[in-house]
Structure 1
Protein backbone atom coordinates (compact mmCIF):
# COMPACT_ATOMS: atom_id res chain seq x y z
CA UNK A 1 0.00 0.00 0.00
CA UNK A 2 1.41 3.36 -1.06
CA UNK A 3 0.52 6.32 1.17
CA UNK A 4 -0.89 9.39 -0.61
CA UNK A 5 1.70 11.97 -1.53
CA UNK A 6 4.70 9.81 -0.74
CA UNK A 7 7.47 9.31 -3.30
CA UNK A 8 9.63 6.25 -2.71
CA UNK A 9 12.80 5.19 -4.53
CA UNK A 10 14.72 1.96 -4.11
CA UNK A 11 18.35 2.50 -3.24
CA UNK A 12 21.28 0.57 -4.66
CA UNK A 13 23.11 1.25 -1.36
CA UNK A 14 22.58 0.17 2.23
CA UNK A 15 20.69 2.37 4.70
CA UNK A 16 23.71 4.12 6.26
CA UNK A 17 25.35 4.85 2.92
CA UNK A 18 22.05 6.03 1.42
CA UNK A 19 21.49 8.45 4.29
CA UNK A 20 25.07 9.72 4.17
CA UNK A 21 24.75 10.25 0.41
CA UNK A 22 21.45 12.07 0.94
CA UNK A 23 22.98 14.41 3.52
CA UNK A 24 25.84 15.14 1.10
CA UNK A 25 23.41 15.83 -1.76
CA UNK A 26 21.20 18.07 0.36
CA UNK A 27 24.19 20.11 1.51
CA UNK A 28 25.65 20.28 -1.99
CA UNK A 29 22.29 21.64 -3.22
CA UNK A 30 22.35 24.57 -0.81
CA UNK A 31 20.06 23.22 1.89
CA UNK A 32 20.85 22.92 5.57
CA UNK A 33 20.55 19.64 7.45
CA UNK A 34 18.76 20.42 10.69
CA UNK A 35 18.48 16.97 12.27
CA UNK A 36 18.94 13.26 11.79
CA UNK A 37 16.60 11.02 13.73
CA UNK A 38 17.59 7.37 14.15
CA UNK A 39 14.31 5.58 14.93
CA UNK A 40 16.01 2.17 15.05
CA UNK A 41 18.59 3.48 17.53
CA UNK A 42 15.84 4.94 19.72
CA UNK A 43 13.93 1.66 19.61
CA UNK A 44 17.03 -0.26 20.64
CA UNK A 45 17.45 1.96 23.70
CA UNK A 46 14.09 0.79 25.01
CA UNK A 47 14.65 -2.86 24.15
CA UNK A 48 12.70 -2.95 20.88
CA UNK A 49 13.84 -4.06 17.44
CA UNK A 50 13.33 -1.98 14.33
CA UNK A 51 15.00 -2.42 10.97
CA UNK A 52 17.16 0.58 9.95
CA UNK A 53 14.85 3.59 9.86
CA UNK A 54 16.24 7.13 9.85
CA UNK A 55 14.74 10.54 9.09
CA UNK A 56 16.67 13.61 7.98
CA UNK A 57 15.13 17.07 8.34
CA UNK A 58 16.46 19.72 5.98
CA UNK A 59 15.56 22.82 4.06
CA UNK A 60 16.22 26.32 2.86
CA UNK A 61 14.23 29.21 4.37
CA UNK A 62 14.36 31.08 1.04
CA UNK A 63 12.17 28.36 -0.47
CA UNK A 64 10.01 27.40 2.50
CA UNK A 65 9.22 30.80 3.97
CA UNK A 66 7.15 32.05 0.99
CA UNK A 67 4.98 28.94 1.28
CA UNK A 68 4.40 29.58 4.98
CA UNK A 69 3.72 33.25 4.28
CA UNK A 70 0.86 32.21 2.01
CA UNK A 71 -0.53 29.42 4.22
CA UNK A 72 1.06 29.26 7.63
CA UNK A 73 -0.06 25.67 8.32
CA UNK A 74 2.48 24.59 5.69
CA UNK A 75 4.96 24.96 8.56
CA UNK A 76 3.82 21.60 9.96
CA UNK A 77 5.36 19.95 6.90
CA UNK A 78 8.43 22.19 6.66
CA UNK A 79 11.35 21.88 6.84
CA UNK A 80 11.38 18.98 4.44
CA UNK A 81 11.94 15.41 5.60
CA UNK A 82 13.19 12.22 4.00
CA UNK A 83 13.04 8.71 5.40
CA UNK A 84 15.62 6.02 4.67
CA UNK A 85 14.41 2.57 5.66
CA UNK A 86 15.06 -1.09 5.12
CA UNK A 87 12.28 -3.54 4.32
CA UNK A 88 11.83 -7.15 5.48
CA UNK A 89 13.82 -8.46 2.51
CA UNK A 90 16.79 -6.18 3.26
CA UNK A 91 16.16 -3.69 0.44
CA UNK A 92 16.82 -0.02 1.21
CA UNK A 93 14.30 2.67 0.31
CA UNK A 94 14.18 6.47 0.43
CA UNK A 95 10.79 8.17 0.86
CA UNK A 96 9.76 11.81 0.92
CA UNK A 97 6.60 13.89 0.65
CA UNK A 98 5.71 15.09 -2.84
CA UNK A 99 5.73 18.92 -2.70
CA UNK A 100 2.64 19.08 -4.95
CA UNK A 101 0.80 16.92 -2.40
CA UNK A 102 1.89 19.32 0.35
CA UNK A 103 0.62 22.24 -1.75
CA UNK A 104 -2.76 20.55 -2.20
CA UNK A 105 -2.90 19.58 1.47
CA UNK A 106 -2.48 23.19 2.56
CA UNK A 107 -4.32 24.87 -0.32
CA UNK A 108 -1.35 26.80 -1.67
CA UNK A 109 -2.26 28.97 -4.65
CA UNK A 110 -0.95 28.57 -8.17
CA UNK A 111 1.30 31.58 -7.56
CA UNK A 112 3.66 29.20 -5.75
CA UNK A 113 4.08 26.82 -8.70
CA UNK A 114 7.57 28.11 -9.50
CA UNK A 115 8.79 27.65 -5.91
CA UNK A 116 7.17 24.22 -5.71
CA UNK A 117 8.80 23.25 -9.00
CA UNK A 118 12.22 24.25 -7.68
CA UNK A 119 11.64 22.31 -4.43
CA UNK A 120 10.39 19.25 -6.33
CA UNK A 121 13.38 19.25 -8.67
CA UNK A 122 15.83 19.65 -5.79
CA UNK A 123 14.22 16.82 -3.82
CA UNK A 124 14.18 14.49 -6.81
CA UNK A 125 17.79 15.33 -7.62
CA UNK A 126 18.94 14.69 -4.04
CA UNK A 127 16.95 11.46 -3.78
CA UNK A 128 18.36 10.13 -7.05
CA UNK A 129 21.91 11.01 -6.02
CA UNK A 130 21.43 9.30 -2.65
CA UNK A 131 19.94 6.13 -4.06
CA UNK A 132 22.25 5.78 -7.07
CA UNK A 133 19.41 6.43 -9.51
CA UNK A 134 20.89 9.65 -10.93
Structure 2
Protein backbone atom coordinates (compact mmCIF):
# COMPACT_ATOMS: atom_id res chain seq x y z
CA UNK A 1 0.00 0.00 0.00
CA UNK A 2 2.80 2.41 0.88
CA UNK A 3 4.55 1.74 -2.43
CA UNK A 4 1.32 2.41 -4.30
CA UNK A 5 0.79 5.67 -2.42
CA UNK A 6 4.33 6.82 -3.17
CA UNK A 7 4.00 6.02 -6.87
CA UNK A 8 0.56 7.63 -7.04
CA UNK A 9 1.80 10.77 -5.30
CA UNK A 10 4.72 10.98 -7.70
CA UNK A 11 2.41 10.64 -10.68
CA UNK A 12 -0.03 13.28 -9.41
CA UNK A 13 2.82 15.68 -8.79
CA UNK A 14 4.17 14.81 -12.23
CA UNK A 15 0.96 15.99 -13.82
CA UNK A 16 1.53 19.35 -12.17
CA UNK A 17 5.03 19.88 -13.59
CA UNK A 18 4.74 18.24 -17.01
CA UNK A 19 4.90 20.84 -19.77
CA UNK A 20 3.13 20.50 -23.12
CA UNK A 21 6.50 20.64 -24.89
CA UNK A 22 7.44 17.26 -23.49
CA UNK A 23 10.04 18.50 -21.03
CA UNK A 24 9.71 18.66 -17.30
CA UNK A 25 11.37 20.61 -14.55
CA UNK A 26 11.79 19.63 -10.95
CA UNK A 27 9.34 21.09 -8.53
CA UNK A 28 11.36 23.28 -6.17
CA UNK A 29 10.05 21.48 -3.12
CA UNK A 30 10.68 17.84 -4.06
CA UNK A 31 13.50 17.84 -6.62
CA UNK A 32 11.77 15.27 -8.81
CA UNK A 33 11.81 15.65 -12.59
CA UNK A 34 8.99 13.84 -14.37
CA UNK A 35 8.85 13.11 -18.08
CA UNK A 36 5.83 11.60 -19.80
CA UNK A 37 6.75 8.71 -22.06
CA UNK A 38 5.22 8.33 -25.49
CA UNK A 39 5.41 4.55 -25.11
CA UNK A 40 4.05 1.72 -22.96
CA UNK A 41 6.08 0.29 -20.06
CA UNK A 42 7.94 -2.45 -21.98
CA UNK A 43 8.92 -0.13 -24.83
CA UNK A 44 9.90 2.68 -22.45
CA UNK A 45 12.16 0.33 -20.48
CA UNK A 46 13.62 -1.11 -23.68
CA UNK A 47 14.45 2.35 -25.08
CA UNK A 48 16.01 3.58 -21.84
CA UNK A 49 18.20 0.49 -21.44
CA UNK A 50 19.25 0.66 -25.09
CA UNK A 51 20.33 4.26 -24.61
CA UNK A 52 22.38 3.31 -21.53
CA UNK A 53 24.19 0.74 -23.68
CA UNK A 54 24.59 3.13 -26.62
CA UNK A 55 26.15 5.73 -24.31
CA UNK A 56 28.42 3.20 -22.57
CA UNK A 57 26.67 3.81 -19.24
CA UNK A 58 26.94 1.02 -16.68
CA UNK A 59 23.53 -0.58 -16.03
CA UNK A 60 23.48 -2.00 -12.52
CA UNK A 61 19.96 -3.19 -11.86
CA UNK A 62 16.31 -3.32 -12.82
CA UNK A 63 13.94 -3.62 -9.89
CA UNK A 64 10.36 -4.55 -10.74
CA UNK A 65 8.56 -2.89 -7.86
CA UNK A 66 5.20 -4.22 -9.05
CA UNK A 67 6.48 -7.78 -8.71
CA UNK A 68 7.88 -7.04 -5.26
CA UNK A 69 4.51 -5.60 -4.27
CA UNK A 70 2.68 -8.65 -5.62
CA UNK A 71 5.02 -10.90 -3.64
CA UNK A 72 3.90 -8.97 -0.54
CA UNK A 73 0.22 -9.28 -1.47
CA UNK A 74 0.02 -5.63 -2.52
CA UNK A 75 -1.44 -4.40 -5.80
CA UNK A 76 0.77 -1.83 -7.52
CA UNK A 77 0.48 -0.36 -10.98
CA UNK A 78 3.51 -1.14 -13.15
CA UNK A 79 6.57 0.43 -11.54
CA UNK A 80 10.21 -0.33 -12.29
CA UNK A 81 13.36 1.25 -10.91
CA UNK A 82 16.43 1.37 -13.17
CA UNK A 83 19.81 1.87 -11.49
CA UNK A 84 22.72 3.01 -13.65
CA UNK A 85 25.73 5.25 -13.64
CA UNK A 86 29.22 6.18 -14.60
CA UNK A 87 32.32 5.81 -12.44
CA UNK A 88 32.69 9.61 -12.63
CA UNK A 89 29.59 9.81 -10.45
CA UNK A 90 31.83 8.98 -7.53
CA UNK A 91 33.26 12.51 -7.84
CA UNK A 92 30.13 13.77 -6.12
CA UNK A 93 30.79 11.59 -3.11
CA UNK A 94 34.27 13.08 -2.75
CA UNK A 95 32.54 16.39 -2.04
CA UNK A 96 30.12 14.83 0.44
CA UNK A 97 30.05 11.11 1.25
CA UNK A 98 26.29 11.38 1.92
CA UNK A 99 25.86 12.07 -1.81
CA UNK A 100 26.28 8.31 -2.16
CA UNK A 101 22.60 8.16 -1.23
CA UNK A 102 21.88 9.63 -4.68
CA UNK A 103 24.43 7.62 -6.66
CA UNK A 104 24.27 5.56 -8.71
CA UNK A 105 21.53 7.34 -10.61
CA UNK A 106 18.01 5.95 -10.56
CA UNK A 107 15.10 6.31 -12.97
CA UNK A 108 11.62 5.36 -11.81
CA UNK A 109 9.34 4.23 -14.62
CA UNK A 110 5.69 4.14 -13.50
CA UNK A 111 2.35 3.68 -15.19
CA UNK A 112 -0.59 5.67 -13.88
CA UNK A 113 -4.23 4.56 -13.68
CA UNK A 114 -4.92 6.07 -17.12
CA UNK A 115 -2.15 4.02 -18.71
CA UNK A 116 0.29 6.92 -19.06
CA UNK A 117 3.91 6.02 -18.44
CA UNK A 118 6.14 8.44 -16.55
CA UNK A 119 9.89 8.51 -16.08
CA UNK A 120 11.02 10.25 -12.89
CA UNK A 121 14.43 11.07 -11.47
CA UNK A 122 15.98 13.39 -8.92
CA UNK A 123 17.10 16.73 -10.35
CA UNK A 124 20.88 17.04 -10.14
CA UNK A 125 20.79 20.71 -9.11
CA UNK A 126 18.49 19.69 -6.25
CA UNK A 127 20.96 16.94 -5.27
CA UNK A 128 23.78 19.50 -5.23
CA UNK A 129 21.74 21.78 -2.95
CA UNK A 130 20.69 18.86 -0.75
CA UNK A 131 24.30 17.95 -0.09
CA UNK A 132 25.70 21.49 -0.17
CA UNK A 133 28.03 20.59 -3.04
CA UNK A 134 29.28 23.79 -4.65
CA UNK A 135 32.52 22.62 -6.27
CA UNK A 136 31.07 20.30 -8.93
CA UNK A 137 28.86 22.59 -11.04
CA UNK A 138 30.39 21.42 -14.34
CA UNK A 139 29.84 17.77 -13.43
CA UNK A 140 26.26 18.36 -12.26
CA UNK A 141 25.51 20.22 -15.50
CA UNK A 142 26.96 17.36 -17.54
CA UNK A 143 24.91 14.81 -15.56
CA UNK A 144 21.78 16.91 -16.20
CA UNK A 145 22.50 16.95 -19.94
CA UNK A 146 23.03 13.19 -20.02
CA UNK A 147 19.81 12.39 -18.14
CA UNK A 148 17.87 14.80 -20.39
CA UNK A 149 19.30 13.01 -23.42
CA UNK A 150 18.36 9.61 -22.00
CA UNK A 151 14.78 10.60 -21.16
CA UNK A 152 14.38 12.26 -24.57
CA UNK A 153 14.47 8.76 -26.08
CA UNK A 154 10.99 8.07 -24.71
CA UNK A 155 9.39 11.35 -25.74
CA UNK A 156 7.71 12.10 -29.06
Name the TM-score, length of structure 2 as normaliser.
0.79
1:44-77 deviation per Cα after TM superposition (whole angstroms, max 9, x unaligned): 2233211100000000012x11111111110011
Q: Name whichever of 78-87 and 64-73 sits farther off.
A: 64-73
Q: What corresponds to 1:83 in structure 2?
A: 108
Which one has more relative contact order, counting CA pairs under 8 Å at least 6 apart? 1
Q: Which runs of 5+ in 2 are unaligned?
A: 1-11, 14-26
Q: How big is the alpha-carbon RMSD for the aligned residues of Structure 1 and Structure 2?
A: 1.2
Query: Contact 1:29–1:122 at 8 Å: present in 2 too?
Result: no
Q: Which runs of 5+ in 1 are unaligned?
A: none
Q: What corresponds to 1:119 in structure 2?
A: 143
Give the secondary structure class of the aligned counterpart of 1:117. Answer: helix
Give the secondary structure class of the aligned counterpart of 2:114. Answer: coil
* 2:96 equivalent among 48, 61, 71: 71
Count of aligned residue pairs for this structure pair: 130
Structure 2: distance between partners of 1:65 and 1:43: 31
Name the TM-score, length of structure 1 as normaliser.
0.91
